[in-house]
Amino acid sequence: MYWPDCPFPVALITESKRPVIANVRPLCLGAGLDWSTLLLCALDVVRTPYVLFTLEDFFLRQQVCTPRITALFDDFKQESLHMLRLTPRPGPTIDLKNMEYGGFEPGAPYKVSTQVAFWNVETLRQLLVSGETAWEFEVNASVRSAELAGFFAVWREAIPYRHHVVERGKWFPWDYWKFSQMNIGVDLAARPVMTVGETSKWIIGKILSKLVRRVPMRLRRVLLS
């Protein structure tokens, strides 16, 4: 709906289900695998030097500008980058005087994340460790890549999904309402909606997180030392 001219082949990682979705290749990799191992197995199957990685609960909300995405991808390849995040969550901490993207200081928190990004597959392989959850990967891989250059993020969102639609197995109320109005083939009855208390707790946590990110990196290190 929002990206009908997507120029990339699409693969969906599953354990055992084989959904029939137009122009989507299901990768049924077996049940019982942890998140990192499942992703490593998927990289073995797709056999490409680069991937545009995204999670399944990042729902597009506006039209994607394909020329901008392809231009970013060309830059990503030409500059031999390790990662180019296509949403500023978190955004870059180093201004390279580039209107599209910037870099990260050594040790920047969430330098690695599971937000949508172009990845060099070999770099992604090196940072993945079997047994880790997605959340552990973000924290631990950021540490593992602390001194490694070549990680970048856009200043302005290129893939318009804003944030995930499900938190701890439950729909955000506003996303449930929005996507229930659209015929997108999602079984909204398969999972519950967050309560008012759960939603309020999440919002407060996001506000506090944004306030922390406004603290300069050097001061954060002093406070945490």
Burial call 15-33: b when 16+ CB within 10 Å, e when fewer: eeeeeeeeeeeebebeeee
Note the pLDDT tens digit of each residue in 193-214.
Answer: 999 998 998 888 778 766 766 6
How far apart (Å, rounded) are the C-alpha atoms in residues 28 and 30?
Answer: 6
Q: Which residues contact 75 (CB under 8 A, 6 or more apart)?
A: 81, 84, 100
C-alpha separations of 105 from 43, 52, 91, 189 in Å? 28, 23, 11, 43
pLDDT of residue 39: 96
Which sign does the torsion angle of CA 205, 57, 114, 33 carry? positive
DSSP tag of 110: T
pLDDT in tens, the chain (225 residues): 899 999 999 999 998 888 888 889 999 998 889 999 999 999 999 999 999 999 999 999 999 999 999 999 999 999 999 999 999 988 999 998 888 999 998 888 899 999 999 999 999 999 999 999 999 999 999 999 999 999 999 999 999 998 889 888 898 898 888 888 887 777 778 888 999 998 998 888 778 766 766 666 565 555 545
CB distance 64 to 159 below 8 Å: yes
Q: How many Cβ atoms from other residues are within 10 Å of residue 211's Cβ? A: 9
Amino acid identity for residue 42 in this structure: A
CB distance 142 to 164 below 8 Å: no
CB distance 30 to 16 below 8 Å: yes
In the chain, what are the domain boundaries?
Answer: 10-154, 166-224
Helix (H, G, I), strand (E, B) or coil at 77: helix
CB distance 36 to 28 below 8 Å: no
For every residue of 112-147, DSSP letters joined together read S-SSSEEEEHHHHHHH--TT--HHHHHHHHHHHTTT
pLDDT of residue 70: 97
Q: Give the count of alpha carbons within 13 A of 145, CB side only.
A: 27
